[in-house]
Structure 1
Amino acid sequence: HKEDSNDIVCDIHSSSFLLQEAPFSSGSWSTKVRSLSAHNRFNMAVAPYTTGSAPRLSSSSNFSVATKLYSGLKLQSASSFGAVKPNVTAEFYGKVHKTLQCRYAKHNPSRASIRMMPIGTPKVPYRTPGEGTWQWVDIWNALYRERIIFIGQEIDEEFSNQILATMLYLDSIENSKRLYMYINGPGGDLTPSMAIYDTMQSLQSSVATHCVGFSYNLATFLLAAGEKGHRSTMPLSRIALQSPAGAARGQADDIQNEANELLRIRDYLFKELAKKTGQPVEKVTLDLSRMKRFNAQEAVEYGLVDRIIRPPRIKADAPRQDIGTGLG
């Protein structure tokens, strides 16, 4: 703004416009834009009206431009903003507002009508079977509802309890369908990992396991614990096994008791791993005296997994998935 003249210069979308303000009488007043009229090429005259003691002003115009201002997604009147500059993202919010109006106006909701991804925790549109409405749920709940469990972090007590509760609940509501466990993690603590293994063996629902990145130590033990014939890995996945380790402190008797308990658990794990892989217990004990690494093919040969998932070649005449379908 120029303080020493009646001319107001502004930049709108990189084009220069001259806003000419008519003379006014002295007094307390505030200018509110009512309409815009075009004259010449880039010169636009403002026809303001005043509040207070100043008279109402007007000017001739060739055409009028309606002014819409937005606050968030809610349409606001121009008068509520006073002399504040309009939001430069009004066009974006206008499109969003129009999209949401079209979405709620439809009688048959579809996944294609939901176009925005909320910021923060990843969320996906999900429709419960038997219901016609879509809703935003976080991606982990969406996977749980599809009986998919994802292990993508170190297994500690809190994470183990979450996995256990999920498996028990899914088995209680439908024990004839298979659970799918996707593994991409470094393993974790001994006791929480064993709790997941024992729960997998006690469920009436079968559990299929799949390695999607890497699987180390006790995570590999869970990978091998899946239902035979339904254990798989990706071609470039990294798999490793190692004997469980622990630490103890205190008196000599306490340390001896902890060592005996660790040896008992180690022998139990080796026997269970021998059952799952078909390898002799002696070979498993010898192999796991140090960390043993496997590529995808070696994991199949050792018996940790049953097959390698390779994406099939896409055919040109293959039917495309309907965009209106989705989870649920």
Structure 2
Amino acid sequence: MEAAACTSGRLGAGAALAHRCQRPSAQAALATARQLRRARRGAQAVVASMGLGFHVGQPAPSGLVAPQEPQLLLPEHDYGLSVKQMQVLGLGNDATGFGARLPEVKAEALRAKAFYVGDNVTETKRQVARMAVDTKAPGQAPPDLPSLLLDGRICYIGMALVPAVTELVISELLWLNYSAPDKPVYVYINSTGSQTMQGEAVGFETEATAIMDTMAYIRPDIYTLVIGQAFGNAAMILASGKKGYRYALPNSRIMTCPPRMNRSFGTTSNVMIKANELENATQTYVDFMSRFTGRDKEQVRKDVGRNRYFTPEQAVEYGIIDKVMQPSDAVAIERRDYEGMLRASQSQGRGARSGGAMAGADA
């Protein structure tokens, strides 16, 4: 009996020890279960607040629901695009539930005709201005002021002589020579040349000589008129017009000045090269002004050695221009009836369409 009592005592002690060993594991499992329940409740609250995992009007799911991939609602016609292409282009509706819904795709947005020039201008369409220059394009007259001036054979130089201005003027001169070589070209000048009022060079001296060479190359006579100011090599362009047709408005100003070069840095040889080019440009300027004004080269070189201003009357005396234009003087510019041109073009187009329809009916 003592042995049995001892054995039962050992068993009771072992059971108590096992119970004590198992108690922490049960407590840990209970704590883990509580944490999972709290996590589920928090996830359900987040899902409900963000609108994920369930639809409006349905009860929230009992478990944690992972957010689904955004689904793209394609329009009625997908125009041959895949779902990925529609997503990249931003077309269709986004059904993620975040409230970011894109507008429906409309057929008008994908029409090539929406970008034709003839369509009306809207926020989603563009229209390019037609630079119609003496081409008599059907449907409308020249639409903008520069085209109207060029259609009247007027080249307007209203900026400093930079490469972009030179390119435009030369292009206009070549076009006018092609369109009507027997009619004069009117060059209106309001420019400071290739320098600023402070004497800073903004363009090359060859800009003016390129324009003058083109004026001498084309067949039409060149009539020049200064409006406002003609300084530096712009005055040389003014004086290069046809003798007897070089004009100035009463309150315009004319100035001759030598070519200038901005401050230069570098090796001595490079600076000397630039100085030699500047001397050559000055000699070219003197040669042209001497030929246009009829004065001696030495006198012209002395006069252009510094800035010299001329009134229109003084410019006539010096030989830069021939006449001061008064308000009563009329400039012989060819006038065009653009409304009549438009009506004639429209009637011609209607006649061509009716003739084609009759030919189709006969066939």
* CA spacing shift, 1:256–1:206, aligned 2, 3 Å: same
Deviation of residue 151 (structure 1)? 0.5
| Cα deviations by residue, 1:56-107 (Å, 9 ceiling, x for unpaired) | xxxxxxxxxxxxxxxxxxxxxxxxxxxxxxxxxxxxxxxxxxxxxxxxxxxx
What TM-score do you get using the length of structure 2 for normalisation?
0.50
Higher-helix-fraction structure: 2
Deviation of residue 191 (structure 1)? 2.1
Deviation of residue 130 (structure 1)? 7.3
Aligned pairs for 1:237-316 within 5 A: 237-247=252-262, 248-312=264-328
Secondary structure of 2:226 counterpart: strand
Aligned pairs for 1:109-258 within 5 A: 134-188=140-194, 189=203, 190-247=205-262, 248-258=264-274
Partner AA of 1:172 in structure 2: Y
Partner AA of 1:270 in structure 2: V
In structure 2, list runs of 5 or more residues that go unmatched. 1-128, 195-202, 343-363
Paired with 1:132 and 1:269, the residues of 2 have a C-alpha distance of 46
| Cα deviations by residue, 1:179-213 (Å, 9 ceiling, x for unpaired) | 10000111122122221122112222111100111
Partner AA of 2:182 in structure 1: S
Partner AA of 1:173 in structure 2: S
Deviation of residue 157 (structure 1)? 0.6
Partner AA of 2:298 in structure 1: E
Paired with 2:147 and 2:133, the residues of 1 have a C-alpha distance of 12
Whether the 8 Å CA contact 1:147–1:178 is kept in 2: the answer is yes
Paired with 1:202 and 1:313, the residues of 2 have a C-alpha distance of 29
Whether the 8 Å CA contact 1:127–1:133 is kept in 2: the answer is no
Larger radius of gyration: 2
Whether the 8 Å CA contact 2:142–2:148 is kept in 1: the answer is no
Secondary structure of 2:271 counterpart: helix
Question: What's the Cα RMSD here?
Answer: 3.0
* CA spacing shift, 1:167–1:128, aligned 2, 3 Å: closer
| Cα deviations by residue, 1:146-173 (Å, 9 ceiling, x for unpaired) | 2100001111011111111111121122
Which sits farther off after the overlay, 304-313 or 290-299?
304-313
Higher-strand-fraction structure: 1
Q: Percent identity?
A: 27
Deviation of residue 282 (structure 1)? 0.8
* CA spacing shift, 1:300–1:326, aligned 2, 3 Å: farther
In structure 1, list runs of 5 or more residues that go unmatched. 1-122, 315-320
Secondary structure of 1:209 counterpart: strand
Partner AA of 1:175 in structure 2: P
> What's 2:30 paired with?
none
Whether the 8 Å CA contact 1:148–1:181 is kept in 2: the answer is yes
Q: How many residues align?
A: 200
Secondary structure of 1:135 counterpart: coil
What TM-score do you get using the length of structure 1 for normalisation?
0.55
* CA spacing shift, 1:128–1:222, aligned 2, 3 Å: closer
Whether the 8 Å CA contact 2:154–2:186 is kept in 1: the answer is yes
Whether the 8 Å CA contact 2:236–2:288 is kept in 1: the answer is no
> What's 1:77 paired with?
none
